[in-house]
Amino acid sequence: MSVLVNKSSKVLVQGFTGTEGTFHATQMLEYGTDLVGGVTPGKGGQLHLNKPVFNTVADAVKTTGANVSIIFVPPMFAADAIMEAADAGIALVVCITEGIPVQDMVKAKEYLQGKNTRLIGPNCPGVITSDECKVGIMPGFIFKKGRIGIVSKSGTLTYEAADQVVKAGLGISTAIGIGGDPIIGTTTKEAVELFMNDPETDAIIMIGEIGGGMEAEAARWIKENNKKPVVGFIAGQTAPPGRRMGHAGAIVGGAEDTAAAKMQIMRECGITVCESPAVLGETVAQLLSKRA
């Protein structure tokens, strides 16, 4: 089982022959991901990393049966790549690209409405199901197999959480980096919902940051549907209002999207909130041992 990706995922790389695409495709192959080929318009028919290159996603799907795509296309062309993948019927599109103009994402998000495509990202580290399939740029060796699900807006903070979970003697079922942009395909709530329904996940670590209302939405959903322990953290307790903290979406816009306000809502909804990002692993371990 697990969430989103597993051993039978057939993965396609959009922006396959570029520097980023090549580097991370190599890493994914080493991890054991079933990478079936890639797309670079104009380079169709070639072989790259011993895998076929296609001109279009539709061609690639027809030949390889790919059902997952990962995008390394430059920001000005990435929204187009997302829509092309959806048009070709790809079920899961993971967009790594950082820096996509917001108005491009307004269109892409609308385009995905009513289609059978789930988008993860953009501006995210991707998705990894430990020991099965890595569709992302995260260092695979951190993610030891286990039963904790991680959902996070941030890349390195996901690695931090995974590392702490492993140090606490546990492991990770799947980690989903949902991305740090103002418009992303899969929300915190949707990712949490996937883990709640996953028989291979016992507890969830939910990592958010300042800006937007996704964590509050997820927290309210958890209150109504809680079946598993959830540990939460919001980065940016010390961020000043109105300033963008690296991620395009990480900006305090009002009284309700500060770290303190989000943490308060999460607590009220029964989530165990960590003040410090240094105690995520031990907190989840304590919660599970209390239950056992």
Partner 1 sequence: MNIHEYQAKDLLKKYGVAVQEGIVASSTEEAVAAATALQAQTGTQFFVIKAQIHAGGRGKGKIEGTDFRGVMVAKSIDDLKQKAAGIIGGNLITIQTGEKGKMVNKVLIAQDVYYPGPNPTKEFYLSMLLDRATGTNVIIYTTEGGMDIEDVAHNTPEKLFKEHVDPRVGLQGFQARKISFNLGLSGEANKQMVKFVTNLYKAYLANDCAMIEINPLFKTSDDKIIAVDAKLSFDDNGIERHPDLMALRDESEEDPTEVEAKKSNLNYVKLDGNVGCMVNGAGLAMATMDIIKLSGGEPANFLDVGGTANATTVEAGFRIILSDPNVKAILINIFGGIVRCDRVAQGVVDAYKNIGNIHVPIIVRLQGTNASEAKKLIDESGLKVHSAIQLKEAAELVSQVLA
| Active-site annotation, residues | 247
User: Smallest distance, Å, CB 258 to partner 1?
Assistant: 12
From candidates 10, 147, 153, 262, binder to partner 1 by CB under 8 A: 153
> What are the DSSP calls for 60-86, one per residue?
HHHHH---EEEE---HHHHHHHHHHHH
User: Smallest distance, Å, CB 279 to partner 1?
Assistant: 7
The vertex-76 CA angle with 27 and 151, nearest 5°, equals 50
> What are the DSSP calls for 93-153, one per residue?
EEE------HHHHHHHHHHHTTSS-EEE-SSS-EEEETTTEEEESS-GGG--EEEEEEEES
Nearer to partner 1, 64 or 188 (CB): 188
**CA–CA gap between residue 128 and residue 220 (Å, rounded):** 26
Pairing of strands 133-136, 126-129: antiparallel
Collect all residues with Cβ–Cβ distance below 8 Å to 41 and sequence separation of at least 6.
55, 56
**CA–CA gap between residue 223 and residue 237 (Å, rounded):** 23
Does 103 contact partner 1 by CB under 8 A?
yes
Amino acid at 124: C
Nearer to partner 1, 43 or 144 (CB): 144
Does 36 contact partner 1 by CB under 8 A?
no
CA dihedral 63, 68, 70, 73 (to 10 degrees): 50
From candidates 80, 182, 200, 264, binder to partner 1 by CB under 8 A: 182
Nearer to partner 1, 228 or 247 (CB): 247
User: Smallest distance, Å, CB 1 to partner 1?
Assistant: 26
Does 276 contact partner 1 by CB under 8 A?
yes
The vertex-214 CA angle with 210 and 215, nearest 5°, equals 70
Using CB under 8 A, which of the segments 40-48, 63-71, 106-114, 220-228 binds partner 1? Answer: 106-114
Q: Tell me the residue length of the chain.
A: 292
From candidates 1, 30, 225, 243, binder to partner 1 by CB under 8 A: 243
User: Smallest distance, Å, CB 117 to partner 1?
Assistant: 15
Does 110 contact partner 1 by CB under 8 A?
yes
Does 271 contact partner 1 by CB under 8 A?
no
From candidates 120, 170, 183, 231, binder to partner 1 by CB under 8 A: 183
Nearer to partner 1, 147 or 153 (CB): 153
Nearest to 71, CA basis, from 112, 144, 3, 126: 126
Does 96 contact partner 1 by CB under 8 A?
no
Nearer to partner 1, 24 or 228 (CB): 24
Q: What are φ and ψ of residue 8, in 5° steps?
A: -90, 5
User: Smallest distance, Å, CB 59 to partner 1?
Assistant: 28
User: Smallest distance, Å, CB 99 to partner 1?
Assistant: 5
Q: Which residues bind partner 1 (CB under 8 A)?
A: 27, 75-76, 99-107, 109-110, 137-139, 141-142, 152-160, 163-164, 167, 180, 182-183, 207, 209-213, 233, 235-240, 243-250, 254, 259, 275-279
